[in-house]
Structure 1
Amino acid sequence: MRLVRVEDAVGQILGYDTTYVGRDGAALLLPKGHVITNDDVERLKDSGVYFVWIEGNEESSNLMYEWEIAEVVANALAGENTYVKPARQGSAWILSSINGVLKINVDRLREFNLNGNVFLITKTSMTGVVKDELIGIVDVVPLGMRREDVNELLKYRDLISVVPFSRRRIGIVITGTEIYQGRKKDLYHPVIKAKADRYGWEIVYSTVIPDDEEKIITAIREAINNGAETVVVTGGMSVDPTDKTPIAIRNLGAKVIAYGIPIKPTTMTMIALLNGTPILAISAGGIYYSDYNAIDVFLPRLMADLIPSREEIAAMGHGGILVSYKFERRT
């Protein structure tokens, strides 16, 4: 390609997407392959574009341009259960081909991005995702690179993948004497159902019970007997005298991985395993913070059988103030 003044580019083939950027956002001005007209000259100048790349006949076989680089590198980095779609302006999208949990090789991603010319930009590892969701972007900084330099980047493979859900059936146990007696309406079931619907999970058991240790134990067992592969228990998670959920889960014989997690909101969360079946118990705060809470953080992982360790949970304090948390300053 050759770089020429826009006045001299009339009748030539544009070799590079040009973009308009304003207060109303960014948009494609003229696409690669467009034949430049006299009318285009003023449009380009109005957008601050006074020089353009035009296609030439002297392209070096040793040179790759950004649109080629992005797609080639993205296909190398994209791992299991992902696919690649080319995007504009030296980018390529990596999308999930299934519902599951995003898994990033963070150490290798950091090493890859040190190359400084081509970047892999992703969503956070261990995030729940759905089919066709954007999970990564490969973005190229220079217009072109030598082919051997691009090939050097292709040694980084399968940095981004999606782990499928191995569990699909959940049970819901809503605790709270005030709900059981009809004094308050249950608001948790719709929150959990919305998340289950998003990921394609089936609710096979749901019940409302009072704050009674034996009834909680019985309800969890019934959920598992009815086919639940993971059980979500809500309420009764604090230290009030009527809060019985953590005691019941321990007395059930479950192995507790964590009681209390370093995230806000819904810090009072318990993760446990009962003969291999995950139990996620969460405080009532998940109703107020229904958009994003411990259910969103942990349930997709549990459904993909990616059981977090105590060390992993401890590290969640970094970034543990979730976007949904409402900070209220008190004086």
Structure 2
Amino acid sequence: MKEIRTEDAVGHILCHDITQIIKDKKKGVLFSKGHIVKEEDIPLLLSVGKEHLFVWEKKEGILHENEGADILYKICAGPSMHGTDVKEGKIELVADTDGVLKIRRDALLAVNSLGEMMIASRHGDFPVKKGDKLAGTRIIPLVIEKEKMDKAVEAAGPDPIFSILPYQFKKVGIVTTGSEVKKGLIQDTFTPVLKDKLAEYPTEVIGQTTPGDDKAQITADILAFIDQGADMVICSGGMSVDPDDRTPGGIRDTGARVVTYGAPVLPGAMLLIAYYEKDGKRIPILGLPGCVMYAKRTVFDLVLPRIMADDEIFAEEVAAYGEGGLCLNCKVCTFPNCGFGK
């Protein structure tokens, strides 16, 4: 930066804030760091005693914070999101659609490890809505070396750090197990909960069956829904390790690939996730434990958004739920704006 006469500063960029104090009326920033001085600014600057200013001196290989911010934004933003206007080296990313936020975490860490720049985001693998703020970026100093921004581009790689997987419409079949439900001994209170949660997404429930505890019938009902065009099958109940709980075996007997039976999440430890392959299509089959019926938030709330966005779930990702997998059952639930599942 260099010091120049205020009268000669038109077109230059301020390297520091200019404060204006008017007794009993005002105390605040008159012009912010990074402001480009205009002709009409000169009288105001002189009125606050600024006869000289420190301004940015343009040099080869040195970028202004706003130029660096634009580069940072470009390595961050994927489709279905936009950036806010750049201001003081800052740009925020905003969602243009509902879906699941995906983050290339290795790239995010690599860029943030470079220093003099930062990217802060909400948690990935969670649902976002159109208009939600996804991330904020900033160049820390007023100017930054172009070479450093080139390193950021290299560290991030060719793909955007952030992307949104939009939800896909799904036809859903529900298989309600348990002889007590089949025989009408108890009221089915599980299905209404499922339908309420599914209604938050683009879904159509194409049917419900009550095969009791007949493992072969559970298998047959799942396969029948798939033959009817179901994009997802949910089995409710009978997920414990007791000998008379037949749901896990019924799911396995379909020939589906079981990703996990069990999750380090409370409520929801007995979750089963499987995928059935048909005609090149991957159809999720879920075995849901009974806690989904009565607990406000469970493992189902963690996996359902990803399934609705066709985001394949892997066993190691479920295992990672262990840290943050304990729901605290707060009196006022703020999920997903809490630590559950993160």
Q: Do the structures match in fold with TM over 0.5?
A: yes
Q: 1:170 to 1:52 in 2, by over 3 A?
A: same
Q: Gaps (5+ residues) in structure 2?
A: 4-13, 38-54, 331-342
User: Residue 316 of structure 1 aligns to a residue in which SS?
Assistant: helix
Match of 1:191 among 190, 193, 198: 193
Match of 2:293 in 1: 287
User: Residue 235 of structure 2 aligns to a residue in which SS?
Assistant: strand
Give distance in 1, aligned partners of 2:180 and 2:67.
62
- TM-superposed deviation, 1:236: 0.7
Match of 1:38 in 2: 22
The answer to whether the Cα contact below 8 Å between 1:175 and 1:235 also exists between their aligned partners in 2 is yes
Give distance in 2, aligned partners of 1:220 and 1:302.
17
User: Residue 314 of structure 1 aligns to a residue in which SS?
Assistant: helix
The aligned amino acid for 1:126 is D
Give distance in 2, aligned partners of 1:54 and 1:311.
46
The aligned amino acid for 1:196 is L
Match of 1:309 among 310, 314, 335: 314
Q: 1:35 to 1:50 in 2, by over 3 A?
A: closer
Match of 2:325 among 306, 321, 327: 321
Q: 1:137 and 2:139 equivalent?
A: no
**1:197-253, CA deviations, whole angstroms, 9 ceiling, x for partnerless residues?**
333233333344533323322332232233211111111100234422112112233
Give distance in 2, aligned partners of 1:39 and 1:174.
73
Taking structure 2 as the reference length, the TM-score comes to 0.70
The aligned amino acid for 1:300 is P
- TM-superposed deviation, 1:262: 2.3
Taking structure 1 as the reference length, the TM-score comes to 0.72
Give distance in 1, aligned partners of 2:285 and 2:313.
12
User: Residue 199 of structure 1 aligns to a residue in which SS?
Assistant: coil
The answer to whether the Cα contact below 8 Å between 2:2 and 2:56 also exists between their aligned partners in 1 is no
> How do residues 96-245 of structure 1 correspond to structure 2 at under 5 angstroms?
96-146=95-145, 149-155=148-154, 156=156, 158-165=160-167, 168-245=170-247
| More off after superposition, 111-120 vs 294-303 | 294-303
% identical aligned pairs: 30
The aligned amino acid for 1:60 is E
Q: Gaps (5+ residues) in structure 1?
A: 4-14, 19-33, 327-331
Q: 1:126 to 1:217 in 2, by over 3 A?
A: same
The aligned amino acid for 1:80 is P
| More off after superposition, 161-170 vs 231-240 | 161-170
The aligned amino acid for 1:138 is T
Q: 1:54 to 1:281 in 2, by over 3 A?
A: closer
| More off after superposition, 110-119 vs 247-256 | 247-256
Give distance in 2, aligned partners of 1:277 and 1:262.
23
- TM-superposed deviation, 1:74: 1.8
**1:136-192, CA deviations, whole angstroms, 9 ceiling, x for partnerless residues?**
222443344355544543443511112344562222223333444445443433433
The answer to whether the Cα contact below 8 Å between 1:233 and 1:281 also exists between their aligned partners in 2 is yes
Give distance in 1, aligned partners of 2:98 and 2:329.
26
Give distance in 2, aligned partners of 1:136 and 1:152.
21
Give distance in 2, aligned partners of 1:234 and 1:324.
24
Match of 1:31 in 2: none
The answer to whether the Cα contact below 8 Å between 1:70 and 1:86 also exists between their aligned partners in 2 is no
Give distance in 2, aligned partners of 1:171 and 1:310.
24
User: Residue 275 of structure 2 aligns to a residue in which SS?
Assistant: strand
Match of 1:252 in 2: 254
CA RMSD of aligned residues (A): 3.8
Give distance in 2, aligned partners of 1:75 and 1:314.
33
Give distance in 2, aligned partners of 1:86 and 1:61.
22
Give distance in 2, aligned partners of 1:40 and 1:199.
55
User: Residue 260 of structure 2 aligns to a residue in which SS?
Assistant: strand
Give distance in 2, aligned partners of 1:104 and 1:127.
10
The aligned amino acid for 2:313 is P
The answer to whether the Cα contact below 8 Å between 1:265 and 1:325 also exists between their aligned partners in 2 is no
The answer to whether the Cα contact below 8 Å between 1:235 and 1:282 also exists between their aligned partners in 2 is yes
Q: 1:195 to 1:120 in 2, by over 3 A?
A: farther
Give distance in 2, aligned partners of 1:106 and 1:70.
20
The answer to whether the Cα contact below 8 Å between 2:94 and 2:135 also exists between their aligned partners in 1 is yes
Give distance in 2, aligned partners of 1:200 and 1:149.
44
Q: 1:103 to 1:35 in 2, by over 3 A?
A: same
